[in-house]
Every structure is written in C-alpha cells, then in structure tokens.
Homo-oligomer: A and B are copies of this chain.
C-alpha cells in the first residue's frame, strides 16, 4: 500500500472562534441574521392576535398571527420614535398592535392604521402618508415542521435549500416528512441557559465519541453509541435500539404507539440531524425532540428543547416523563461538557485549536462551513 494514510487527527477551529466578540458579531450578521432562523413553534401562535417576541441575532422580532390566519414577523420597533411594541414575552391582542408610547397603531399585517393627528398629515409632496411605508418593518417568515422560521436578510436564500440539506443528511427526501412533525403537539419543553459558545453545542451534538463517557442512559438504549461513532456520520442509517429495549425512554421501557407515517426501517431507530445554524432534530418512532438555540453571547447560548408527541398522547395527558427524562439527562450531560470546554477556548493551549479523531472528522466540514460564512467579515 503506497498511498499516504489520511491523517488520524485533524485540527479544530482555533480558540478565538469561541471567545472573540468580533467573531460573534460576524456570526450574528452573516449567520443568524442572514440564514433562516427557527424562531418559535407555530402552535404557540395558533389564534389570531396571538403574538410572541423572539430575539433573532441582534434583533427583537415580533411574531403575530393575523385575523386572516397568516403568521407574520416584524421588527419589534414602532416606526415613530422607536418604542418596542411588545415588551412582554408573549400575549394576545384583538385587531391591532398599538404602541403604548404615542398610540401609533398597526394592523396585524403591519400597516399603520392610526395615530393621533396622522389623518391630516401629508408628505412633502402634499400626498397622504403611505401607511405601508410607515408600517412595521416586515421580516420574512416560513412555516416548516410546525415551526416559524424567519430570515432577516434583505434577500432571503431559498427555503427549499434548508429542506434539501436536511433530506440529504437523512439520505431520503421523505424521511423527515414521515414523522409528521408539524402535526405533533408539544408534550414538554425545557429551556436551558448554557455558558458556552453555540458552536461547541453543535459540535457536541454532531459527534458521539463522547457518548460512552457521559451518556450512560443513552448508550443503554442505543448500544452502538458505545463504539463512539456519530449517528450523523452515517447518512440515513441512524442508530438501532438495543435488543432488550422497548422504547426511547430513560429505562428502556415502552414508549407510545409509533407515529403513523414512519416506515418499517425507521422503527426502533434514532436519527439525529443538525439543521444549520441552530436546530437539532432527534427522531424516534414515537416522538420527536426538537432543539432550537438562541446564541446570546460568545460564551452563552439559550437552548429551547421541545418534546413532541401525537395529539392523542398529549391530549389524553399520558405520562411522558419516562421519555422526556432520557433526553433531558442527555442535554444536561452535554451542556455540562460544553460549559467545561468554554473556558479553555481562551487558553494558549487551544490557540490553534484541538484535534479531531476519525470518529469526529465530519466536524471539520462544519468548521469549514463556519469559516466560509465569515470569510467576508474576518
């Protein structure tokens, strides 16, 4: 064999990618505000007039369901003197959003519909003031998998690319669709405040070399994870439940009926997909675990995690704690590892990064992707 061996150890990103305010600012502009960003579960905004405030990159975004049933997003800023329309996390209005400072009032589609004295105002050509021009600044919004994805770019990239990339990861364009995620209900939600850079959380999610060390319960259900090979490195294969395992639960006991649409080969398997930049999908036969990250600072990320079940399970108030507990423990174990890693990112020992073993080599693609997104800015 004359061919040179592939290197066993690849380099990671250098430490400053995880600590620098400049890098984080570039990520906000060129990643979180430039890509489609998963902002909220659509069902949390089911009724007309229901609204929710979400931080997307550096912007406060207001999501609101119109009387016409359409979910829309706007910058959460009154066009007059800049007061935030929505200060509370969420709530409900009747027909309009009214700024509590000077009473400029907007329809749920963003149009300026009223303001004290505004009726007699004209622009400098003598024409009435354009109510769309002074309406709320719209933000692009698409619904997929039951979530609202927004994009702050002037020209948002095609959303189809997000879906195509996900399908490619699973190796089957219909694999995700079969879980019918959009129709599921939130059975449980936990919000984690993690003292680590968002990329450490992505990297942790993408590899399973750490599984045997920190995830005893998960390895109990998915014995092949003890081998340390990441599910995401094996396109479309997922990981098989252990022979004595009845369900994806903390003790391996039975879960719920399998989701109606999934295929035979999806049964008794766990699939993990990263939807860049900030979403993790975990697919198991009877439920879906959906992570959304909100990067707050170079060393802080809020992670909101939904456990999704059929309406039958949630509606009948069945006890989901056994399945919730499994991934809640995984989350805590992962986030502790990330928090333990964050401080070392500023050490001279990590100035040029650490190393990736072969079971982690696919992380290098993520690193390249980050570097290329930020190329213009750094």
Contact = CB atoms under 8 A, between A and B. Distances in A.
Interface of A: 4-9, 12, 15, 58-60, 75-84, 87, 100-103, 115-118, 121-126, 129, 134, 137, 152, 203, 209-210, 212-214, 228, 337, 340-341, 343-350, 353-360
Contacts of A75: 347-349
A310 to B, nearest CB: 36
Which 5 pairs across A and B sit closest by C-beta, in order of nearness? Answer: A77-B349, A7-B124, A75-B349, A77-B344, A82-B344
A9 B84 contact: no
A123 B347 contact: no
B212 A116 contact: yes
B122 A5 contact: yes
A80 B350 CA distance: 10
B7 A82 contact: no
Contacts of A137: 348-349
Contacts of A12: 81-82
A116 B209 contact: yes
Q: How many copies does the complex hold?
A: 3
B343 A84 contact: yes
B124 A4 contact: yes
Contact of A81 (B8, B79, B214, B354): B354
Contact of A58 (B123, B203, B346): B346
A140 to B, nearest CB: 14
Nearest to A355: B80
A350 B116 contact: no
- Of residues A12, A101, A134, which shows the largest number of chain B Cβ atoms within 10 Å of its Cβ? A101
Given A77-B349, A347-B59, A213 B101 contact: yes
Contact of A357 (B58, B121, B213, B360): B121
A100 B214 contact: yes
B349 A123 contact: no
25 contacts: A6-B124, A7-B124, A8-B122, A8-B129, A9-B121, A12-B81, A77-B347, A77-B349, A78-B354, A79-B349, A79-B355, A80-B357, A81-B354, A81-B356, A82-B349, A82-B354, A83-B344, A84-B341, A100-B214, A102-B210, A115-B357, A117-B209, A117-B358, A118-B357, A134-B355
Given A345-B82, A354-B78, A340 B6 contact: no
Contacts of A212: 103, 116
A26 to B, nearest CB: 16
A203 B209 CA distance: 52
B357 A100 contact: no
A340 B84 contact: yes
A350 B82 contact: yes
- Of residues A102, A137, A345, A348, which shows the largest number of chain B Cβ atoms within 10 Å of its Cβ? A102
B102 A209 contact: yes
Contact of A340 (B4, B9, B87, B355): B87
A250 B341 CA distance: 47
Nearest to A128: B8
